[in-house]
Each structure stands twice: as structure tokens, then as C-alpha cells.
Amino acid sequence: MSARTAFTLLSGLLLLLAAAIWLGSGEATPTDRPAGATPEAPPAAEPAVQPAPPTGAQEPEPQDQRELAGQGAAPTTASAQGLRGTVVDWLHRPLPGVEVFLLESVRNDPLAIPAMLQRGVGTGPVAATKSAADGSFAIGLPVPTDRLFELRCLSNAHADVQLGDLRILPDTWHDVGELILEPGTTIRGRVTIRGSTTPVPGATVTLSTGTVFEDVASQGLPGRERGLTAPVDASGNYELRHVPRHGRCQLAAVAPGFARVLRADLDLRGDAPVVVDFALPPGLLLRGTVVDAEGRAIQDARLEAWPIGPSAPPITARSRRDGSFDLVGLWAIGYRLKVLARGYQDLELAEVPAGRDDLRCELRPRATLAVRVVTPTGEPVLRYELGVRRWFPHDSDPLQGQVGLVAELPEQRVRLAPLDAVATVQGVPPGRFVLEIEAPGFAKTLSAPFDIQPTTPDLALEVVLDRGTTVRGQVLDELGAPLPGAIVQAEPDGAAPDNPVWRMLAQAVPDRRTKAKATADAAGWFALPSLARGIYQLRIDHPEACQEVLTGLRLDAEPEYSLPPIRLPIGAEVSGRATLGGKVASQLQVLATSRVEGPAAAVRPQRLETVTDATGAFRLPRRLPPGSYELQAAAVHQANPEAQVFEMLRQLQRSATIFTIAPLQRSAAVDIDIPTDR
């Protein structure tokens, strides 16, 4: 398979993933075009899940006293922006001492998910607090950003609650209202030896969501790193309490000497506790050691045993200090074994029968690069940023070649001594790569492509920095007067920052071009210096005019590039009030898109989004040119994420309101309501 074909396939997979994520965000179809388990064991004769007899209404359980003991004063709001709310039980009584976490949504960077799962780490909270005596909380964000966030509430006496995806506007405190914590449901059952009623000693039952987004987010929360886990007692009984009722999940039982059994696609949405019994057959293990070519032990290597045939997640383990490992819970079938360790090439064994105890997994070291960076006159450069990128060439145009991240090789900030002008990069896997260098006074520079073979021990490379191109121009209003203060940004050609799918991919995928910004002076003039070679677009914004985008700007070897005058139309400022069933609700999402049909269609497709403030008021982030538009709104719900997607899409459709911006119109007030069934 050629590199170009591989990149095309990767792009297709990314778009499929992006579409799924976009649906999960509950946003309407964008008008901008973006740039380019089944149970592991055979089913038992009896049903895997049996509802227990109804137990009647449950009274609220007392809050865990350890939580209350750690409760401090009400959290402060020192940050300029953040989220406020109140944590209550299902009878709307305040819950003090509940842990509240603010996390970046994993939807911001989906391409990092595989590496995070491999390392067994989550995103981690960006802020944390506890609810005060009246149940209130305030959790701040020190630096404003346009990324998505979610709230998580954890309590020992209630099911976990999440709220997302949320945006936090600069200098704004959003009120998310009441977060209702419920008792959740209980999963209980017995783990026995298959064909008998004898309990399995030392068994463990673990609950997981079975979705990568949820699992990665949970791994970063204290106490939720491994999901919800319950030990099996001497009688074979286990119980998982306070399990969220929404959505579907997966349950696994495993014990030394027995095969792992999965119960997938469990539906926990009923009111009654759920009984899930496990009958474990005898199982096997894989035992061995992970070493390097000299026989030295490799610690903390990750081993994944993938069953050959049945569709099931892998059984995993990590090597100990002496390199030894045990993979427990295997069936008497063949497995595909994958071994991963930092600084070593991945090892994959196509078919390994379960039961072996003499495996020797010998890993080859990855390649080492010796990098020397020089100016165009040959002088060594001692201060720069260095990144290793995968290289996907274009068939005919070198300026359209693409770069990709190497997840296991983070960016390096190189600081060298005058007598030592060589930087070292260790652990480079096989493949085709380029080096990306950024140094003050020079454009972002790519090295010539180079190949790393499995047998490549090390490689010496020299990169000559490029001074790039300076783009100059002038910004005028629609009457020809200068527009001082206009912001001009250089972006990849085809960029669509208003599109959530493109925005998500742009944050996850590196770009060979320079991201640069300039402000027009009193006469409207601007300059963008040191732009790397590539094909660009310029996005021009001013608070008193509409946005303009110039596309197809090709920069190759020219040191200077002058543009004709850029005129921005004035357009109209759009504001209004959004309600839910005629009432103010917390943080409603508001979306405005241009209609692409009819005589009043906008000249360029538009897509703007914002959220309402505490009074339900909103203002679109920039002015709109003359044309016909559709305004939609949706509420962020504390609910099953799967159901939330469809409910938000339904709200967007039902709230759709058409409005028009006429020529010379300078403002528009548009109110919108989301109909409810009550």
C-alpha cells in the first residue's frame, strides 16, 4: 500500500470518527465543508441478565461521613470564567461534600485516544472542587478557551453524574442549574464454577461502558481509574451499587485459573436491581518475560492478548520489574499477542496458544536520530522547537504533502551549548518521516523526507532553516476607508473554524503551514512575516464588519507577497433571547447557519454558535452579511449521552427559526424558543 493510499484511508476513518463525534455534540448539520461486543463465552442456557423482584421506592441514603468530614468552605470564584450550579438529590435536597470535576472533553482530541488507552491514563481534571453546605459549587477556568468541557459529580452514596459538552465563554460564569444525583441501580449476582454451584475464589467483577470516549474520561478521575469494581466474597456473591441507570455497559468476571467471561450490552435503565450471574469455565494463562536484545528485563511493557475468532476486547497485563508477566483469564484458543514498550519497536505474535508459560518476548530498540539545524549560511542553530512527523506525500504537488503526529514522540524544546550543535531524538519507530523545526526569525521548516527501517539503529540529519514569505496587505471597509484594528489570520487553505468537525480535527492533526496573526495599523496595513511554504487562506475579522476569507494563497519560495486591498462589508449584529418552553434555562446552545437556497442566500456559507447567559440572552460572535439564515437552539441535558444526542437534534429541528438580513441592515433581534412536551 502506498503512503498516499494509507493517508487517504486514514482521512476516511477520521471523517467517520468525526461524524460520530459531531452527532454526539448535538449540533446541527454544518453548512461549511470541512477540509479535506459480543459476550466472549458461548451464551449460557439461562438468560444472562434477570431482573430482580421490585424492591419499591428507595429512601435517600445518608451521605458518606468521610465526604462531609473533608468538606471545606464554599469554593471561590477567583477565575474570570467558569461554571456554577447546585448538587441535589432526587428530592431536590442539597448535597454537601460532593466532588465536582471539570474535564476537557475527549472529543477535543480523538486521535490521542488510542495512545491514552495504551498508557492507561485519562484526560485528568483541569479543576476540582466540592459542593458547599447548600449544595452549591463554583468551578473556574483560569484561561478562556474554545474547547469543550464536561462536568463530573462523584459521590459514594449516589450514581456518578456527567454534564457535557459545555462551552465556557471568556469573562462569563455560566449557571448549569441543578445537577440531580440519584441512587442509581444495583448489579448483583454470583460467580460460580461452570457446571456447579461452587463459588469461584478470588474472582473480581468489573463494570465498564464499552465506549472509548467514556472509558478514557473515567480513567482520569480519582477512584474511577479502573471503572466500577467489586470483589467476590467467600460465597461467590458480588454487588455493585450506585451504577448509573442510563445507557448500556459491559460486565466482566475474571479469576486466577478461570477464563474471563463477558456480559455485553447490559441495559440498566430499569428501576429494579439487575442480577447477573457468571459461570466461569477453567481457564489458562500466558506467562513469560519481556527482554531486550541483550536479555535485559524490560519493565512496564504492555501486553495485549487478542482472541482469534470471537470478537472481544483484549486481556491485558504489564511486565514486572524483572520483565515477567502473567496474562490471566484466557480460553483454550489461540491469541494474537501484542507487546508495546516505550523506546522499543512493537512486537506482534500472530498466533499463540493459551497455556504457554515459557514465552520470551524480545524487543528491538527503536531508531535514534542525531539532528543538526543550521541557518541558510550554514551557522548552527542552538534554540528551536523540534517535532518528528509522519510524512504523506502528494502525487504531484509537494506543497500539498501532509504531516501526521507520532503520538509516542512528544515535541522537544531544544537548548544546546555552543560547542554541542546536535540534538538527539530516541525511540523513532519504522516509517517515513520529516522533521519539523520552528526557530525565532525563521519560518516553520520541514526536513527532506527520510525512512526508518526495522533494522535502522541510528541516523544523522541536517536541516537548513527557511526564512519563509512575508504577506502584506490593507484592510478597508465597504466604503473604502481603512479598518484599523482588523485581525488577519493565516490558516490552511480550506480551514473552517466555525465547523465543529473541522475544529476538532484541526486540534488533533498537525499542519505544516504557519499559524500567524497580525493586527492592521491605523491605515489598515498589516504584515504576516515568516510564513512557511504551503497553500493558505487569510481570515479577516473586525468587530464593526463581517468576516472575509481569501482562499488559495500559494506561497513557495518568494520572500514577499503583496495582496490587493481587502474590503469587508458592514453587515448586521444579531442578538436575542432563547428559552426552553417559554422559560429561561441554563446554558442553551444557539446555532445560526446560512440558508443555501433562494434569492436571499448569503454570498458565503456562515455557521456561528454561542450559548445563552443567565437571563437567556445571547449575541452571535460576529456580524452577518445580507442573506437568509436559520436560528436553532438546544439544551444541554443531564442524561444518557446516547439519548441526549437524539434529544438535542430533535430540539434543534423543532426550534428552527428563519430570519433575513437585508442590505444596509445594521442590527437584528431574533428570539427563539425550544418547544417542550409539557
> Could you read off the pLDDT of 64-104 as tens digits, one per residue?
322 332 333 334 446 889 999 999 998 999 999 999 999 88
- Worst-scoring range by mean pLDDT, 4-13, 470-479, 606-615? 4-13
Average pLDDT, the chain: 82
Give the per-residue pLDDT at 108. Answer: 67
Whether the CB-CB separation of 240 and 205 falls below 8 Å is answered with yes
User: Is the per-residue pLDDT at 19 higher than 90?
Assistant: no
Q: Which residues pair with 46 in a beta bridge?
A: none
What domains lie within the chain, and their CATH numbers? 65-181 (2.60.40.10), 185-280 (2.60.40.4130), 284-363 (2.60.40.10), 367-464 (2.60.40.10), 469-568 (2.60.40.10), 573-674 (2.60.40.180)
Whether the Cβ atoms of residue 28 and residue 591 lie closer than 8 Å to each other:
yes
Closest residue by Cα to residue 281 from 353, 206, 200, 354: 200
Angle between helices 3-24 and 500-508 (to 10 degrees): 130
Residue 109's pLDDT band, with cuts at 50, 70 and 90, is low
Find the distance separating the first CA and the last CA of the chain, reported in whole Å.
Answer: 57
User: What would the pLDDT profile of 631-660 be if each residue is shown by its tens digit?
Assistant: 999 986 655 555 567 788 889 999 999 999
Mean pLDDT of the 414-439 span: 92
DSSP assignment of 56-81: -PPPPPPPPHHHHHT--SPPP--SSE
C-alpha–C-alpha distance, residues 449 and 446, integer Å: 8
| Mean pLDDT score, 600-618 | 81
pLDDT at 46 over 50: no
- Does residue 549 contact residue 514 with C-beta atoms inside 8 Å? no
Q: Which residue is it, cell 474535564? A: 103
- Rounded Cα distance between 15 and 568, Å, is 33
pLDDT band at 156 (very low <50, low <70, confident <90, very high): confident
Torsion of CA 63, 64, 66, 71, to 10 degrees: -20
Looking at residue 37, its pLDDT comes to: 33
State pTM to two decimals.
Answer: 0.65
Give the cell for residue 540.
479577516
C-alpha distances (whole Å) from 431 to each of 6, 116, 390, 396, 457 are 12, 21, 7, 21, 13
Residue located via cell numbers 496595513: 525
Instruction: Indicate the pLDDT class of residue 599, thresholds 50, 70 and 90.
Output: low
Distance (Å, rounded) from C-alpha 37 to C-alpha 250?
8
User: Under the phi-then-psi rule, with left for phi > 0, alpha for psi from -120 to 50, and beta for the rest, what region is 124?
Assistant: left
As a whole number, mean pLDDT of residues 36-59 equals: 36
Q: Note the pLDDT tens digit of each residue in 458-506.
A: 899 999 999 999 999 999 999 999 999 999 999 999 888 888 777 767 7
Structure confidence at residue 113 (pLDDT): 53
Label residue 222 exposed, middle or buried (CB < 10 Å: 0-12, 13-18, 19+): exposed
The C-alpha cell at 434 is 520529516
Q: What is the pLDDT of residue 214?
A: 56
DSSP E strand boundaries for 268-382: 274-276, 278-280, 284-292, 302-307, 315-318, 324-330, 334-340, 347-353, 359-363, 367-374
Q: How high is the pLDDT of residue 573?
A: 96
Pull the grid cell for residue 392: 504523506
442-480 burial, b for 16+ CB within 10 Å, e for fewer?
Answer: bbbbbbebbebeeeeeebebebbbbebbbbebbbbbeee
Percent helix, strand and coil across the chain, each rounded to 5? 10, 45, 45
Chain centre to alpha carbon of residue 531: 29
Residue-wise pLDDT tens digits, 289-347: 999 989 999 999 999 999 998 778 889 899 999 999 999 999 999 999 999 998 898 99
Report helix, strand or coil for 641. helix
For residues 291 and 314, is the Cβ–Cβ distance under 8 A? no
